[in-house]
Amino acid sequence: MDVVIVCHTEFGYVKGKEVVYDKRAKEGVEVGVQRLLKIADGHGARVTFAVMPEAAERFPGNVKHEIGLHVHPGWQELSVHGNRYYVGDAYLRKHCKASSTSTVLKDYPYEEQLDMIKAGKEHIAETLGVEPKTFVAGRWSLNDDTVRALVEAGFTHDCSATPHKKRGHYDWSKLPRMCMPYRPSRSSYQAKGDLPLLMVPVSQALFGASVSPEIIPIIGRRWLESCFLEYYRQKLPLFHICLHSPCMTDPYFMGQMDALLRFIAAHDVSFKYASEVREAGGHRPRADVLPYILNIGGGMERPLAKLAIEGRR
């Protein structure tokens, strides 16, 4: 099994075991990236850093892991649990014309999406010396125009899919919960086709938690370990972990990420960059509750209804 770690690299800090995406908190990039690297290197893991253009100049130098692009369009102030912050990208706001302030790509016409993606790619290349090939859409939101724009801009992999989920600002409901990499159709980004872009969905635990250290305060780390075993026991080709760089500024999340990678690395896995993932055919994943049942009592008895809060951003 291949394991990929995709880090959405942006400003922010941790408050009460929750990431606050405050653009004044540069340590979310400057400190969070370095700490994740130390943890990953300790387990022989590889990380794909999807970097926001506005964060590129704060990204540490001499990082030998993969660098991709993360686009949060628009500019709006959000309030989550009493914490207020702006969502958007200051660099793209300055350098791209936009017909909206929406913070999701799907609300923009094709030409404006393409402009933002190209501008972000060029800025990452100029600032960090690497041409990104891997992409993550802000707030998990894209549409068929985004896929067209990514192909036009030369991207090879997209890591925005959160399978079997739908919120007001994104829709991945047509994908099965356990979804392996696929090439999208020209008529639907959620259908298999032949476009030269590989969709690399985030792994999903039973009852719909994306595999990320940020969900651990709600459901417990052993639930994610059980999810890994659910995939591993079926010999599925890929397990995809996602996280935001600011969470790695906090000792709690650092410890949880370290423990999760230690558990995974004890199995027969190969850590890969997102751009190294290949299309997976012939696999029919099925729900396997046994790993979860065997781990009951390890803190997983928390109310599963709380998983709904994961989709707030």
pLDDT per residue rounded down to tens, the chain (313 residues) = 999 999 999 999 999 999 999 999 999 999 999 999 999 999 999 999 999 999 999 999 999 999 999 999 999 999 999 999 999 999 999 999 999 999 999 999 999 999 999 999 999 999 999 999 999 999 999 999 999 999 999 999 999 999 999 999 999 999 999 999 999 999 999 999 999 999 999 999 999 999 999 999 999 999 999 999 999 999 999 999 999 999 999 999 999 999 999 999 999 999 999 999 999 888 899 999 999 999 876 554 453 444 444 444 4
Check if the beta carbon of residue 56 is closer than 8 Å to that of residue 123: yes
The pLDDT assigned to 298 comes to: 55
- State residue 309's pLDDT score: 42
pLDDT value at residue 296: 77
Phi, psi for 108 (deg, rounded to 5): -110, 150
For the chain, domains (ranges, CATH) are 2-312 (3.20.20.370)
* pLDDT at res. 297: 64
DSSP string, the chain: -EEEEEEEE---EESSSSEE--TT-THHHHTHHHHHHHHHHHTT--EEEEE-GGGGGGSPSS--SEEEEEE--SEEEEEETTEEEEEE-HHHHHHS--S---SSGGGS-HHHHHHHHHHHHHHHHHHHS----EEEEGGG---HHHHHHHHHTT--EE----TT-EETTEE-TTS-SS---BPBPSS-TTSB---S-EE-PPPB-TTS-BS-GGGHHHH-HHHHHHHHHHHHHTT-SEEEEEEEGGGGGSHHHHHHHHHHHHHHHTSS-EEE-GGG-----S-------HHHHHTTTSSTTS-GGGGGGGGG-
